[in-house]
Amino acid sequence: MKKILISLLLLTFFPIKVMATEPNLTPKAKAAILMEYSSGEIIYEKNAHDKIAPASMTKLVTMLLILEEIEKGTLTWDEQVKASAEASGMGGTQIFLETGELMSVKDMFKGIAVASANDAAVALAERVAGTEQAFVAKMNERVKAMGLKNTSFKNSHGLDEKEHYSTAYDIAMMAKELLKHEKVLEFTSIYEEYLRQNTDRKVWLVNSNKLLRLYKGVDGLKTGFTDAAGSCLTATAKRNDMRLIAVVMGETDAAVRNEEAMKMLDYGFNQYEVQPLITRNSSLGKVEVVKGRDKYVEIMATEDAAILNKRGEAKRTNISYDYKISKIVAPVKKGDVVGTIFIKENGKVIKQVSITVTKDVEKANIFHLYFRYLKDIISGDLNF
């Protein structure tokens, strides 16, 4: 067991640009970026920090907050949510919620992920935070907690509004955070489906992310279009062990955004490969839990970690990592951050990955602690 000191850190990136002088893959985009998911390394970028209207790519954070509420247990997929007049009155893309209509969280989330439904986004935002504006405050807090400084949200859906903006880099980082919740891909990979199937108000959902059918490995994430934003797309694709995130903003139309996003994905898959370092589900060993019903618990990384290598070039070999664990005191839940892995290249930290426990550990009562004490005396595990 490693004994320890550490500040409890969220996942922190030190983005590395691995590109040399590369061709302009996105000549018509106002801004673009290509990032490898597990390393966080940037393969290509263009005006990646320019502030631009993000349109419905805003919903990446809307979906993130909803999934986090579900994972915390404060929201369930089966819960019936009532649509308010504000939600049902939303313009733009929608699933045509009526005021007072009840619909499950799952179906509303599907409406957001597949059809970019503004009415469903507002209805779930109100359910999570009470009002949409309170939810938007949570959105802004969440992106700031990720270290993103060039994003400002004014709504949960992405319709044009003054001071509602983001950047290609920030959007890619939001997508990366969302992809930690693999459940989202079950929804964003749907190309077409019906809601209210057996009613006279059924709605045919058709995904505007045509890369789902045009490009091998694409399983998400979010399109967008408004007058101010132009055509936008955050696409993610996985081939073998490598997942890429491509963002294009300010394209002239959907055909161009698809073409330029695919060019970036082609470039990434053709020119680069990942070198895995840490697998999320692999145990890092056991640590003691103070006052826990289980005396020890296994720990693991919160996500996969890797580095990126250019095909045909020597692999990066001066990589090492170590970790520190904070004192774990029961109760502790799976997902709680209990330490940090420090990944280093040539002795310099290039990435930090949070550590969590593999299962929940409840606090032991006085009887559990007493009988454990007796057992330790008998087994000779106590040191005096």
Catalytic residues: 56, 59, 116
Q: Are 363 and 297 in contact (CB under 8 A)?
A: no
| CA gap 245, 34 in Å, rounded | 6
Q: Residue 253's closest CA among 243, 245, 265, 261?
A: 261
The two structure tokens encoding residue 267: 């470039």
- 161's tokens: 């509004």
Q: CA 85, CA 44: separation in Å to the nearest integer?
A: 44
State the helix-helix crossing angle for 105-115 and 118-129, rounded to 10 degrees: 140
Task: Look up residue 384 and give its two tokens.
Answer: 């005096």
What burial letters (b/e) apply to 293-324, b meaning 16+ CB within 10 Å? bbbebebbbbbbbbbbbeeeeeeeeeeebebe
SS3 340: strand
Q: 93, 85, 320, 60: which is closest to 206 by C-alpha?
A: 93
Query: Is the distance from CB of 109 to CB of 124 less than 8 angstroms?
Result: yes
Closest CA to 320 of 287, 343, 337, 304: 343
Q: Please give the angle made by the CA atoms of 230, 138 and 158, to the nearest 5 degrees.
A: 15
**CA gap 351, 304 in Å, rounded:** 12
Phi-psi region of 145 (alpha: psi -120 to 50; beta: other; left: phi over 0): alpha
Asked whether the beta carbons of 49 and 17 are under 8 A apart, the reply is no
